[in-house]
Amino acid sequence: MTSLVETHARMERLLALLPERTPSEGTMRQYRGVHERMRRAGCYDPMACACPASYNRARAALHFCARETLLRLKADLEARSRAGERKAASLTAEALALYLDRVEPAILAHPPCADPDYRAASPFRAKADAPRRGAGSKKHSLKDKPADWREQVFVATPETSPYKAAIAAMCLSTCRVGEYAETIRDQQYSPGVRVIKRDRLLEIFTIAQKSHNGKYGLSMSGVVVAIAQGGAPAAHLAKLCDEAGGAIEIAVESTEGLRKAVGRIAGRLGFSNVSPNSFRAQCIADGKVTLPNAEMVAAGAGHCSIRSQSRYGRAEHGRRGGGGLVGTFSERQPRPASVERMVRFEAMRLTRAIERGRAPPRFAA
C-alpha cells in the first residue's frame, strides 16, 4: 500500500509539472509517433533518443504524451480499484511505476517552460568537459590554416622523398589516400593516380575507391588543373610528365607511409590535424567557390550524390581557382539536385510507411 501511495504521489507531482496543451490533430499524431519511437528505443531523453525528430519536437512530444499516458493510467487504476479488481489494479500500478521510472528523469532534466529563457546555454552547445562531436574533422580544421598551406607542405617535402609526386597530386586533386595504391578496383586494374599533360593543363584522375564494384560512386573521376595557376605542385607534375612523354602514373608502396609522411611534414611547419584527407577537403572547398554547380564538385570528388559534399570543406574555407582548378570530369554523371531530393523524399516516405505498418508488400516484414 505504501508503494502504491508513493507511486500515486509521484504521478501527481509530475502531472502538476506538465501543462495541459491542445495541439492540432496532425501535431498530436506526430507527437504520438515520436513518443512511440522513444518507447521502442527505451530512451525518453529528447537529447539522447535515436528518433529523427529535432530536440524541440522530441521534448514537446515527451511532455504532451507523458501527460496523456499518465492520465490514462490514473483513470484506469482508479476504475479498477473501485471495481474491486485487485489483480488488475496491481498490474496497472506496476505499469505506472515502470513508466514513471523511465519518463520522470527525462522530464526533470528537460522540464516544460512556458517562457523560455533564450539567454541560457543551448542544450546543443558542447559541454566544458567533453569535446564537440566532429571537432577533429578535417572540415573544421581548414579555417585555421593559411591559404597556401598545401604548397608549403609540398615545398617542405624533400626532393628525395618517395612521396614527392603523390603529395604534389594531393595538393591539386581530390584523390583519396587509398587511391594512390596499385590494385584491382571496380573490377579493373588501377595503377594508382594518373596524370596527363595536355597543352597548359593537367588531368589528374583515378578509379574511385568507394565504388563497390560499380554499384556506387562514379568509377573513374578526376580534375582539370591549369599549370600556371597550380603553383609549384603543378609545375613539378608537368615536369615529370614531360620527362615521361606526356603522362605519368603515381603509386606508393605504402599508403600508411604516405599518411605518416604528410603528418610529419605538416607538423614541422606548425600545422596540426593534417592528413591526406585534409588535402581532399581543401580541394572540395575550392571547388565549391570555383565551379558553377554542385554536380561538377561531386564529379571531381567521385561522389554519385551531391549530398556527400556536406561532409567536406565549406565554401567559406575555399579559394576561388585554388590549386589551379578549372574543371572536373567523371565516367558517370552525378545525380542532380532535383533527382536527389526525389530520392530522399521517397526514402523518407517508405521509412514512415514501414513504421506505421503500411509498407508495400515487398518491404513488409
pLDDT reported for residue 125: 45
Give residue 218's pLDDT.
58
Instruction: Indicate if the pLDDT at residue 107 is higher than 90.
Output: no
Q: How far is CA 115 from CA 8, 228, 284, 360, in A?
A: 29, 60, 44, 44
Per domain, the residue ranges of the chain are: 2-109, 138-334
Q: Rank 74-88, 108-122, 133-147, 343-357 by mean pLDDT and report only the highest.
A: 74-88
Quote the pLDDT of residue 364.
45
Q: How confident is the model at residue 198 (pLDDT cuts 50, 70, 90)?
A: very high
Report residue 190 as a C-alpha cell: 588501377
pLDDT confidence of residue 27: 85
What's 202's DSSP letter?
E
Q: Which has more pLDDT, 133 or 118? A: 133
Q: For residue 49, which of 37, 64, 65 has the smallest C-alpha distance?
A: 37
Taking the complete model, does pTM exceed 0.95, yes or no?
no
Which of 284, 278, 291 shows the shortest CA–CA distance to 145?
Answer: 278
Q: Is 66 helix (H, G, I), strand (E, B) or coil?
A: helix
The pLDDT assigned to 237 comes to: 95
The yes or no reply on domain 138-334 and CATH 1.10.443 is yes
